Homo-oligomer: A and B are copies of this chain.
């Protein structure tokens, strides 16, 4: 059995990196003009704003909190489904997300919000949303690795994941000038392929030694439904959180709501069809129902139309459930994907990127209005002359960039994680909270035995 003692490495990583965060925040991070008391007073005067309600806080904070719940409760509880890895599922998710958001504020700040004059990064509520988004990609990657890695490895996954995210996001959003409000490309496709590539490098041929622990129990499946439902319900907030004020946020929420509803029905249909008695499988319900939200990440803010959203949800529910039914990856690629992120994030995210490309390319002035086209696709400044067709091409290119970053980055990070210093579990010790947590004794297993003894004694006094 491998040594899973992380008494030195985990505290060291937490302390050193947290201290680094403090130093870097001290050097770089400042309040922006809407969260700094002096600057906001000046901003109101200079922009002729009469009411505090115009502060971006009131446009975005409710959505931010929904996204925040998705990150910590949504992802966290979705990963409690394993019978003996619920602590690790929700607990390590909590740890790496808490580190990741700090690092994301810095990384995204350097790329998007660095004032060249002062050398400072300004943060506001939109930065917090973006930090949550950024860390989501690493949490997706965790889904492929669930139960097979140590928390120290997860911190490394997050450190590099956030870094890679910031770079690919900069390329896709700033250089290629793509739109990707809900992150089909930058979050889901990237995060999915990043996790899959890591898991591929970390392939464990003898993982079936932990088979006894790789399933769920009745109540762990109910816990996982908490995660599923909070993800599902708040996905409209996820896809609308950073879209344009006004109709942009409004439309993104509607489109996502509709697509998700559609996904549920096709997921149930395929799940039922695939069992000889028509029984539903909790794995499908917990995961594939969310595929519509992933796939609407790019197009939600566009004028995709309500029925277009329904079609996206319809198809992605089917595709995602089929992915769970036929886990090709493990069979042909020697790739172990604990939560099935290939089916929930990688493929729907990629599809979402291409759907966005098509919807963008099909945009017309008749539908959007001239001003609406400019507002939606940000055809301003250097990009004032871009056509929607070109935009569609760039959107498709962006999707490819995100996948490439995920795969290449994941392979590199996977190789780093193969160093024998991280305290990862042995093959027969996977999916087991005992490795990294003090687990309470199960009192429930004691009464029956005692009861039995009494029972035996009463029944067979002659024994």
Contacts and interface: CB of A to CB of B under 8 A. Distances in A.
Contacts of A23: 307
B437 A279 contact: yes
Contacts of A125: 250, 253-254
A440 B216 contact: yes
> Which interface residue of A21, A54, A101 has the most chain B CB atoms within 10 A?
A21
A37 interface: yes
A30 B447 CA distance: 56
Contacts of A251: 31, 35-37
Nearest to A22: B310
Nearest to A246: B52
Nearest to A8: B278
Contacts of A105: 258, 306
A408 to B, nearest CB: 29
A225 interface: yes
B57 A54 contact: no
B440 A98 contact: no
Interface stretch (A67-75, A337-345, A350-358): A67-75
A229 B303 contact: no
A18 B318 CA distance: 12
Contacts of A42: 369
A207 to B, nearest CB: 18
Contacts of A94: 229, 232, 264, 285, 289
A452 interface: yes
A140 B162 CA distance: 37
A113 B171 CA distance: 43
Interface in A16-37: 17-19, 21-23, 25-26, 29-31, 34-37
23 contacts: A7-B273, A7-B275, A7-B276, A11-B268, A14-B268, A14-B272, A18-B262, A18-B265, A26-B307, A35-B247, A40-B250, A42-B369, A52-B59, A56-B250, A61-B62, A65-B233, A73-B226, A86-B222, A87-B218, A87-B221, A278-B436, A280-B438, A452-B452
A31 B438 contact: no
Given A73-B226, A246-B40, A31 B306 contact: yes
A69 B26 contact: no
Contacts of A266: 14-15, 18
A417 to B, nearest CB: 18
Given A303-B37, A437-B279, A452-B452, A65 B66 contact: yes
A279 B6 CA distance: 7
A455 interface: yes
Contacts of A349: none
Given A65-B234, A265-B14, A275-B438, A38 B368 contact: yes
A426 interface: no
